[in-house]
Amino acid sequence: MSNLVPTATAEACVSEPASTPILQALPGRLTDVGGLPIRRLLPRSARRLVGPWCFLDSYGPLTFASGKPMDIGPHPHLGLQTVSWLLEGELVHHDSLGCEGPAGPGVLNVMTAGRGIAHSEETPAPNSGRLRGVQLWVALPDAHRETTPAFEQHRELPTLDLDGGRATVLMGELGGVHSPARSFSPVVGAEVVGAPDRSLVIPLQPAFEHVLVPLQGAWELAGQALAIDTLHYLGSGRRELVLSAQAEPSHILLLGGAPFGEAILMWWNFVARTTDEIVAAREDWQAGRRFGEVEAYGGARLEAPPFVARPHRP
Ligand code: MN
C-alpha cells in the first residue's frame, strides 16, 4: 500500500529503545480512506522505530458487495521493504519489475524497494467480499539501502509450535525458526495464533526490542488485557512472553529486532537519510524516471504529494 495519509514534511525517526522490559500501550490512529478503516500504529510521535520496523497500518475488517476497497495505483518506494499480510480477503500486487503477487490469508508478499521500485495493490475480482490485513515496512540499513529491487512471495511459511498456540514466522527468526523471506538486519515478525483459555509462552531474544499488536480475539500479557489494534511496546531484555488468549480465533502480531541505530528520514513512501534524497526521488517519480512503470495496472499512477523541506534536529 501507499502511505495514504502523508504529511508535507519528512519525519525524522531514531531508535529510542528501552533497555529494560516495559509496557507502553499506543492505540492506533484511525483514518478512513474510501470507506476502508485504517489504523496507523507506526510511526507514532511516541514510538517511531521498533528494530528496523518503521511503518505499520492495520486495515479492516470490512465486508463489501461490490467494487474494490483496496485500489492503490502505482506509487514508488525507496530504502525499505514492504511486507503485506492478510487475515481475511484478497489482494493482488503488480510492480515495475513485471511481478504479479496474488495473495490471501497465509500468503506473504515482501517487496525490497532498495534503490527504487513502483507497485500497485488492489482487490482482485472475483473476491470473498472481505478485507482485513496489515501493511508493514522494514527500513533497510545504510549498507543495503541501494540494493537491487526485488519481489518475493511465500505461500508456505515455517511455523513454531508453542505450548498453547502456534507462531507463523513472517520475517527473520523466532525460536530457531527462520522465515524464507530476505531480511537485511536482525529482525523478527510473526503472527501468533492462540488456543482459547490456554497460556502460551513465546521465546524472545533479549537483545531485541519488541511490540505486540493484537489483531483479533482477546489477549492478555501476564494477566493484563491487551487492546485490539494497539501497539504494545515491550522494550528489550525479555527472554520470553507469557500470553493467554480468551477467545477464538485469536491472532496477535509480534514484531521486533535489534535497535536499528541509524536515524532515518521518512516521507510519503520513501525511507531516506537526507532531504536532498527525498527531493530527488520525488522529482524522479514525477518525471517518470528511476522507479519504472507498473504496466499491469489499468488506471492512473499516484501523484506525489507536496513536499516541504524543513531542517531536522538530530
Ligand atoms: Mn506500497
Centroid of ligand 1 to alpha carbon of 120 (angstroms): 7
Distance 73 CA to ligand 1 centre (A): 9
Where do the domains of the chain lie, and which CATH numbers do they carry? 11-257 (2.60.120.10)
| Residue 198 CB contacts under 8 Å (≥ 6 apart), including other chains | 163, 164, 165, 244, 245
127-181 per-position pLDDT tens digit: 999 999 999 999 999 999 999 999 999 999 999 999 889 999 999 999 999 999 9
The pTM score is 0.96
How far apart are alpha carbons 74 and 65 in whole angstroms?
25
Return the pLDDT at 133: 97
pLDDT for res 83: 98
CA of 84 to the centre of ligand 1 (A): 9
- Chain CA centroid to CA 59, Å: 11
- Which residues, by Cβ under 5 Å, contact ligand 1, an ion? 1-2
Strand pairing of 80-89 and 108-112? antiparallel
Write down the pLDDT at residue 7: 82
What is the whole-number distance in angstroms between the Cα of residue 110 and the centre of ligand 1?
11
**Separation of CA 217 and ligand 1 centre (Å):** 28
| Per-residue model confidence (pLDDT) at position 311 | 65
Distance 201 CA to ligand 1 centre (A): 34
pLDDT lower than 50: segments of the chain: 314
Least Cα distance to 108 among 156, 172, 39 occurs for 156
Distance 76 CA to ligand 1 centre (A): 7
- pLDDT of 288 reads 97
> Is beta strand 165-174 parallel, antiparallel or unpaired with respect to 11-13?
unpaired
Which pairs with CB-CB distance under 8 Å and at least 24 residues apart come from 174-180?
174/202, 174/203, 174/254, 175/202, 175/203, 179/108, 179/154, 180/154
Please name which of 71, 41, 68 lies closest in space to residue 56, comparing C-alpha atoms: 41
Nearest to 312 by CA among 280, 258, 272, 269: 272
